């Protein structure tokens, strides 16, 4: 039960003494949701967090998610008892918990709502930007859908503008003179995505996180930042990308 005790303290973000030896808790992300576990979760992206022997306080492993409510479960995995906060097959609930973590970041989850693909918006602009940059047309549309819902006049509360919701500094970097011009916005967004895809070796989770929260924030957390807004945004982009790829493939087959 020592591992579960450490995890319970992390869940409660308690300022309490740790066991006499180091413990490892895994912070796992799946489908835009965060969980903690005493072993890597099958099917999730998990990062080990080592709590030092002499740590004075238990760190906040959740990230900046505001109030987190959940349940601690126990399950058998690889012949030993494992504790975690995600309900996996065979898991048995131990207790419910509520954790107060810092609020989210200044990032936002995007103005566009998750919904069916819209293939009638700015076709020429997306095709031109895709051909120019090599970024897949379906990916460009997924980001535009998530960011603005294809609203060329959209302005977020954080100052992002246009179809691709370029922040002013990003627009300047790519010489976008009119961020509310669909052609300029899509072209600038495509060039920005090309650079992000190169930087993160095609990892769409990291690309979406950097587009949403910034390259510096991704570097700070060495991965997807633990912000509710960014986690929601990454999940939205992934879902929309899959939908646009499917829809565009059907359209291409139908035109043959």
- Quick one: how many helices (H) and strands (E) in the chain? 8, 6
Whole-angstrom distance, CA of residue 67 vs CA of residue 176: 39
Contacts of 79 (CB under 8 A, 6+ apart): none
Range of the domain at 11: 2-100
Contacts of 32 (CB under 8 A, 6+ apart): 231, 232, 234, 235, 236
CA gyration radius, the chain: 21
- Give domain status of residue 144, yes or no: yes
Q: Domain tally for the chain?
A: 2
Instruction: Quickly list H helices, 78-214.
Output: 123-133, 137-148, 168-173, 182-199, 204-213
| Statement to judge: residues 76 and 134 lie in one domain | no
Q: Where do we find the tokens 């960014």?
A: 230
The predicted-structure confidence for 50-89, as pLDDT tens digits, reads as follows 776 554 455 667 666 666 778 889 999 999 999 889 999 9
Tokens (6 digits) for 202: 């095609």
pLDDT over 90, % of the chain: 50
| Statement to judge: residues 155 and 215 lie in one domain | yes
pLDDT over 70, % of the chain: 79
Among the three residues 100, 133, 165, which one is the final residue of a domain in this structure?
100
The active-site residue out of 41, 125, 136, 147 is 147
Tokens (6 digits) for 48: 């080990």
| Statement to judge: residues 53 and 151 lie in one domain | no
Closest CA to 139 of 160, 158, 117: 117
Domain with 170 in it: what CATH number? 1.10.530.10
- Give domain status of residue 38, yes or no: yes
pLDDT confidence band for 2 (50 / 70 / 90): very low
| Statement to judge: residues 131 and 80 lie in one domain | no
pLDDT value for 63: 65
Whole-angstrom distance, CA of residue 202 vs CA of residue 193: 10
To the query of whether residue 41 is one of the catalytic residues in this protein, the response is no
Closest CA to 193 of 143, 234, 242: 143
How large is the average pLDDT for residues 170-195? Answer: 97
- Give domain status of residue 118, yes or no: no
Question: Is residue 146 within 8 Å of residue 236, measured between CB atoms?
Answer: yes
Tokens (6 digits) for 234: 């990454």
Tokens (6 digits) for 37: 């576990």
């Amino acid at each position: 039960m020592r591992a579960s005790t450490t995890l319970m303290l992390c869940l409660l973000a308690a300022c309490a003494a740790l066991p006499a030896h180091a413990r490892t808790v895994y912070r796992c992300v799946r489908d835009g949701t965060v969980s903690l576990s005493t072993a890597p979760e099958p099917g999730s992206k998990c990062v080990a967090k080592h709590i030092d022997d002499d740590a004075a306080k238990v760190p906040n492993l959740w990230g900046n998610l505001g109030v987190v409510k959940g349940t601690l479960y126990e399950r058998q995995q690889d012949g030993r008892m494992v504790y975690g906060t995600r309900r996996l097959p065979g898991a048995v609930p131990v207790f419910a918990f509520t954790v107060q973590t810092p609020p989210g970041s200044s990032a936002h989850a995007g103005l566009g709502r998750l919904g069916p693909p819209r293939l009638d918006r700015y076709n020429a602009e997306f095709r031109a930007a895709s051909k120019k940059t090599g970024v897949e047309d379906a990916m460009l549309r997924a980001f535009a859908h998530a960011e603005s819902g294809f609203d060329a006049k959209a302005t977020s509360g954080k100052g992002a503008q246009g179809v691709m919701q370029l922040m002013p500094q990003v627009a300047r970097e790519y010489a976008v003179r009119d961020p509310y011009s669909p052609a300029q916005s899509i072209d600038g967004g495509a060039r920005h995505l090309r650079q992000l895809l190169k930087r993160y070796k095609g990892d769409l989770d990291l690309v979406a996180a950097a587009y949403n929260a910034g390259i510096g924030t991704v570097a700070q957390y060495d991965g997807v930042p633990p912000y509710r807004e960014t986690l929601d945004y990454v999940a939205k982009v992934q879902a929309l990308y899959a939908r646009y790829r499917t829809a565009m493939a059907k359209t291409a087959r139908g035109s043959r």
